[in-house]
Copies of this chain bind each other. A is one copy, B any other.
Amino acid sequence: MSGRPELSPLTPRAAQIASAARELLEEEGRDALTMRALADRLGIRAPSLYKHFPDKAAVEAALIEQGLAEMGAVLHAALEGTAPSEAADGTGAIGAVLRAYRAAALARPRLYRLTTSGPLARERLAPGLEEWSGTPFFLAAGEPYLAQALWSFAHGMVILELDGRYPDGSDLDRTWAEGARAFAARRT
A interface with B by C-beta (< 8 Å): 116-120, 131, 145-146, 148-149, 151-157, 159-160, 163-167, 170-172, 174-179, 181-183, 185-186
Contact = CB atoms under 8 A, between A and B. Distances in A.
Given A182-B185, A185-B185, A152 B148 contact: no
A125 to B, nearest CB: 12
Contacts of A167: 131
B185 A186 contact: yes
A175 B163 contact: no
Given A165-B120, A185-B185, A185-B186, A160 B170 contact: no
A152 B172 CA distance: 11
Contacts of A116: 165
Contact of A186 (B145, B152, B181): B181
As for how many copies of this chain the complex holds, the number is: 2
A33 to B, nearest CB: 15
Contact of A155 (B117, B160, B171, B172): B160
A118 B113 CA distance: 9
Nearest to A170: B148
7 contacts: A120-B164, A146-B182, A148-B172, A148-B178, A149-B176, A181-B186, A185-B186
Given A149-B153, A152-B175, 11 more contacts: A118-B163, A119-B163, A120-B165, A131-B167, A146-B182, A148-B170, A148-B172, A148-B175, A154-B156, A156-B156, A185-B185
